[in-house]
Amino acid sequence: MHLGLFHINMGLRVQPDQLVATAQAAEAAGFESLWAGEHVVLPDPQVPPSPMGPQDPALDSLVALAFAAAATSSIRLATGIVILPQRNPVVLAKQVASVDVLSRGRLTLGVGVGYLEPEFRAIGANFAERGAVSDEFLDALEHLWYDEHPEYHGRFVEFAGVDAHPRPVQQPVPIVIGGHTAPAYRRAVRRGHGWYGYALTPEQTADCLAGLRAAADEVTRPSDLGPLEISVTPRGRLTAERAEAFAQLGVNRLVVSPRSPADSADETITGALEAVARLA
């Protein structure tokens, strides 16, 4: 099972020295990947289902991962997740390609459709049709990254007679689909190299995997995507028993959260390593 470290762009790690120290310590400790979440803005005052308070600090996920890339050499860098329908897909294609080039091919793009209507409203994004928007944006990204002459004509994005270089180092860029709904499961089966679940117990993960199996009966998975890789950030304290439960379910990667967003780099890695030690 691979081990990742979450929240590289949040809490105390918005400070440059703490982000770099955490990234380097995670790489030295043998973690396979660093993961960055995303909220551009948050409701003020905080209202459900917002997971964060409006004053909780969070760097842009791709900017933070580019910064981490400059301070590391081998650890993978993943968004967990970019809220895809809030982004301009043409600009996002350039940002992803740029980080992939600068990291020498270490980026994994995790995407989701989002769920905070106030955030969509502030950005001017389409909340009501966010699933359909996300599907078109994924198409647009692929055309811009892989086609000799990129062109796309959809309801929500359209371009022709343009090109963008450099292309990503990775061909293809690994795509991970986040979300705990039936449409997200179908999108993961149909479009994703992997699926990501955030803050789940083993029991909740089992329900999600059942949803993914049901989705596989509804949509066709292209053979070139290979097996669907499962990544989960566990909810609560990670014990050996819980880790074994995740492993028995077929989870391929556990993305461990720091004990507290206010933890320093040393505290973050110490806490993560303590969790990993309990897996032995």
pLDDT in tens, 100-110: 999 999 999 99
Predicted confidence (pLDDT) at residue 228 exceeds the cutoff of 60: yes
* φ and ψ of 127, to 5 deg: -75, -40
pLDDT in tens, 135-162: 999 999 999 999 999 999 999 999 999 9
Q: Which has more pLDDT, 263 or 128? A: 128
Buried b (16+ CB within 10 A) or exposed e, 168-195: bebeebbbbbbbbeebbbbbbbbbbbbb
Q: What pTM, to 2 d.p., does this model score?
A: 0.95
Amino acid residing at 231: S
Per-residue pLDDT, 276: 63
Q: What does the alpha-carbon distance between residue 160 and residue 152 come to, in Å, rounded to a whole number?
A: 6
What architecture is the 2-277 domain classified under in CATH?
A: Alpha-Beta Barrel (3.20)
Per-residue pLDDT, 182: 97
The full set of domain ranges for the chain reads: 2-277
